[in-house]
Amino acid sequence: MNENKKFRICIVGGGSRYTPGILKMLVAEKDRFPISTIVLYDNEAERQERVCGYGKVLLREYYPECEIIHTTDPETAFTGIDFAFMQIRAGRLKMRESDEKIALKHGCIGQETCGAGGFAYGMRSVPAVCAIIKDIRKYAPEAWVLNYSNPAAIVAEATKRVFPGDYRIINICDMPVGIMGMYAQALGLPSKQLEPRYFGLNHYGWFTHIYDKVTGEDYLPKLKKMFATPMQDDEHTGHEVDASWAETFRFMSKMVRECGDKFMPNTYLQYYLYPKHMVSIENPDYTRANEVMDGHEKRTFEMIEEVIAADKLKGTKYEMTEEDFNDGHATYIVDLAYAISHNTQDIFLCMTENHGIISNFSEGAMVEVPVRVGVNGVEALNVGEIPTFQKGLLENQFAYEKLTVDACLEGSYEKAWNALTLNRCVNDTDTAKALLDDYIEANKAYWPELK
């Protein structure tokens, strides 16, 4: 099936700081997942043109049989594509900075997917993502849409409603992949040798088992012991990380000891289980958005300019290395596309509608669970009943996410206020109203009008 096919893909959000990494991933996977054309699509022409300039040099040297083009026109971008890889950020990092600083002004978490910041970002993402998918469906009715735009849980709830029954839209997040990579590093095993069992909502879940595909051993008990001890900044990751992520990995040991029970928590649970602590360590004048703008984004575009100026990668410090060709984390989107196109039935952690998967949880909620992936989309593995503590947390979070999507699609001020009130990182009606009013003022160019 599709053994000799060369695919045409579109990277939606072509001007993103992540696009160069995706392009390198596609080069590394060219023998397994051959591509004829990569189309970059973005609404920021100048920024995207710079990224495409890097891509042209990369492909000329490493993948000359594949062409790359860029466009701001949806018909050009989507006509004839097999896959759309969606990674948009409505409002870019400047609006993320606004989200974070407004939340911190009110003593609340501003993180981009959690708390008040996640709410503000979700209200921007839903209209933008849905508008793009409508264009994709206009020009490429059969294309697969692999969406990893944040906040993924809110986006998944919205796409489920706006495009009911469209099984070719798959919402996936790289965070579980990153955590699995950390587990593999700690165990000294290849990432793809591990197979997870997991339940929750996106950025809000628990690993129940970590199986070895070869031996069948469940490494979860061993991992719980390993991660119960505070780790050094790069321990178990194998590379240097930004300051905020280093703090996350150190804090994970506390969550494992105090909140792990028999499971391993997703790192994002720190925001929901310890919101006071998380606010206390934030700098209201220099947030994660500032860290990214001054760090990864700046480095990425400096690299792009240097490659374009040199007109080469080979023989420079940016030459592709063996590590680039064996980056298990970076290949997860190609792994997903390959599983679909070649009907592999491999297991991924994806978001899908809860129809009895978690038997004692809300019907129809977009849960993040293990799924088998093939030519007909995703098929979830059964989770069964979950404990009362986890169920209570998840039901509260789902109610918040559902109300956020309601507010966005219906233009409802009341439901937006209710959503923020329910969020565990806000949890106060007066604070929720003050936050909402500030966010409305800051997001006039992005949000629907709320009445």
> What are the b/e assignments for 142-178, b being 16+ CB within 10 Å?
ebbbbbbbbbbbbbbbbbbbbbeeeebbbbbbbbbbb
Give the number of other Cβ atoms within 10 Å of residue 3's Cβ.
Answer: 6
Catalytic residue chosen out of the listed positions 41, 62, 121, 268: 268
Contact 88, 12 (CB under 8 A): yes
395/398 Cα distance (integer angstroms): 5
* Helix/strand/coil for 343: coil
Q: Is the dihedral of CA 446, 368, 101, 441 positive or negative?
A: positive
DSSP 8-state symbol, 239: S
Element (H, E) at 199: strand 194-201
Catalytic residue chosen out of the listed positions 174, 242, 324, 346: 174
Q: Is 268 a catalytic residue?
A: yes
Q: Is 406 a catalytic residue?
A: no
DSSP 8-state symbol, 193: G
- Backbone φ, ψ for residue 256 (5° rounding): -65, -40
82/10 Cα distance (integer angstroms): 8
DSSP 8-state symbol, 324: G
Tokens (6 digits) for 260: 């792990």
Active-site residue set = 174, 268
